[in-house]
Chains A and B, each alone.
Chain A
């Protein structure tokens, strides 16, 4: 009698577990299809990551704007983490005032292009005073100016299949953002900071600013941008270099 119950319990538990896993798998597939799944959603912490990213994506569905500030609130201290890349290629470009630097934009686009610094400066620009918090805990407010990423993406013509915009930098960092973030009006390719040329330590010649996420997402020293429908073939496939160092891909927090 007890053996029968045990077996029945075992089968029921097994079926429930299988149904649960299948349900999770189905939920993951649906979430992925509608762009609610972060590239680093697998693993031990995947559930938390998926919930955070999915919930915030739904909350921000109407393209909410990051808070902007007054000029009087601009911080006097604007710290940075890390030093400019020491590689020959970057140092040579820096010495030449980035005259030979080119930003390559390719991938799932109709017209793969390269842009010089002068060309980028001629494109329509936008300035915004936003708060940038480091994941360590400190923060500052600064004015950033540059070309909206959406403008450049529209110039090269993003194909409908595209899901991610990937940034590659001279310091071997790379990162990606989803299409809603890429086409968000405040996502800038930054050329200037606080009314001046972008300082070297803040990412010259070009950095991206993603003000709805922590500073870590605003990668510096950019060399190229790739539009893609999958990040699985880049690095370990987790959407950025940061998850490989233990940080989450999504930095909206």
Chain B
């Protein structure tokens, strides 16, 4: 009992001194695991794609037949990168899936999505939306107050990445598996075929890479060191930004 009181006594001034972390430990840890696994998914995905950089629509497609898009990339068949690429792709996909599940479940329980990512009703006016878009177009750096929370565009983008693009990647990936579609045929027929799923997998990956590029540019514009420090330690530089 005495110990508890002692600890509690200590904890109060400490809590006052240190504000709540900008990012919770779960967000920080899952963020960096996702960074690593996404990097592995992209390089192994490119290795797999280079074996046949042609995209089709429907169930089937092959050289000699019509394609949807011929990507301006070489056919790389004689370099043994696809096999290891596939091993790496699926290992990273599993890691990314478990990480994503932990993030989403914890986000639901801690109200992370509701508090940080769902736009407030008051922000959903055209005036607000225009304001945020114009600020972005002018590359206006956020004010100290604004930097502590996500703006409307950020919220939309993160929600799109977390609840649309990543699930779509898993879905279309599984839709290419003849074993999985033997159990759940609807997951591939809904796209119109295995090659359609492959094509959507490719474009969803392109959107995720586009997101990554913009994300990094925005982090640089908003102050690379401070942002990255916040995502690693959870703290923002208290002396510089808060006072």
Contacts and interface: CB of A to CB of B under 8 A. Distances in A.
Given A48-B94, A59-B183, A138 B62 contact: yes
Question: What is the predominant secondary structure among interface residues of chain B facing chain A?
Answer: helix
B178 A246 contact: no
B194 A138 contact: no
Interface residues of A, number: 41
A140 B86 contact: no
B178 A252 contact: yes
Most chain A CB within 10 A, of B59, B80, B84, is at B59
Question: What is the predominant secondary structure among interface residues of chain A facing chain B?
Answer: loop
B49 A137 contact: yes
A65 interface: yes
A139 B61 contact: yes
Interface in B151-183: 176-183
Interface in B64-81: 64-65, 77, 80
B195 interface: yes
A79 B87 contact: no
Contacts of B179: 56, 59-60, 212-213, 252-253
A133 to B, nearest CB: 6
Most chain B CB within 10 A, of A51, A60, A75, A137, is at A137
B178 A211 contact: yes
A52 B185 contact: no
B91 A139 contact: no
A37 interface: no
B46 interface: no
A102 B189 CA distance: 41
A137 B80 contact: no
A109 to B, nearest CB: 27
A115 interface: no
Contacts of B195: 139
B179 to A, nearest CB: 3
B177 A252 contact: yes
Interface string A212-252: 11100000000000000000000000000010011110001
A131 interface: yes
A66 B182 contact: yes
B63 interface: yes
A246 B180 contact: no
A248 B178 contact: no
Nearest to A137: B52
Interface of A: 44-45, 47-49, 51-52, 56, 59-60, 64-67, 69, 73, 75-77, 79, 131, 133-141, 211-214, 242, 245-248, 252-253
10 closest A-B pairs by CB:
A246-B83, A252-B179, A48-B91, A137-B52, A45-B87, A138-B62, A247-B83, A136-B51, A64-B182, A253-B177
